Amino acid sequence: MTRPLYVLNGPNLNRLGKREPQIYGHTPLAEVEILCREAAGDTVLVFRQSNREYELIEWIHEAIDAEARGIVINPAAFTFTSIAILDALKQFPGPIIELHISNVHRREAIYHNSLVSKVATAVIAGLGPRGYPTAVRAIADLAA
Ligand code: DHK
């Protein structure tokens, strides 16, 4: 299967493992990527992180043009603020899984109103880093 699966990560996730480990755990993003690649099997996996909103938007456009099997996205703080990312995701015809390491609904109110959920096929929140391979496997099932 050559159609890739995109896993995109937003701001501050490059500091996973060091950043508020009591919330986000001790697993670095590089290890999360390994978990995703193991879950993806033969599916081509594109795994990226950026602190720049425009880069995430351009990667969503890239996934659209590559006719990707699906997108797993942890937009991090952009989840709650970025109409631009929402508008980009609206253009993607395939399955989208919104992923949060923490259960955002048990946290401060600023984390309760996701813009991305308006277009996501599904939302995974609170499974910790294991949420990522779970989301990758779910995309494989949805896109089968
Ligand atoms: C990660 C972030 O950086 C926060 O801004 C989100 C999300 C939660 C997570 O749990 O992965 O609110």
| Distance between Cα 142 and ligand 1 center (Å) | 24
Residues 121/99, Cβ–Cβ less than 8 Å: no
Q: Is 100 a catalytic residue?
A: yes
**Is 103 close to ligand 1, i.e. is its CB under 6 Å away?**
no
**Is 104 close to ligand 1, i.e. is its CB under 6 Å away?**
yes
Q: Going residue by residue through the chain, which has 144 residues, state the pLDDT in tens, using 9 for 90 and above.
A: 589 999 999 999 999 999 999 999 999 999 999 999 999 999 999 999 999 999 999 999 999 999 999 999 999 999 999 999 999 999 999 999 999 999 999 999 999 999 999 999 999 999 999 999 999 999 988 876
Residues 124/131, Cβ–Cβ less than 8 Å: yes
- Cβ neighbours around 50 below 10 Å, total: 18
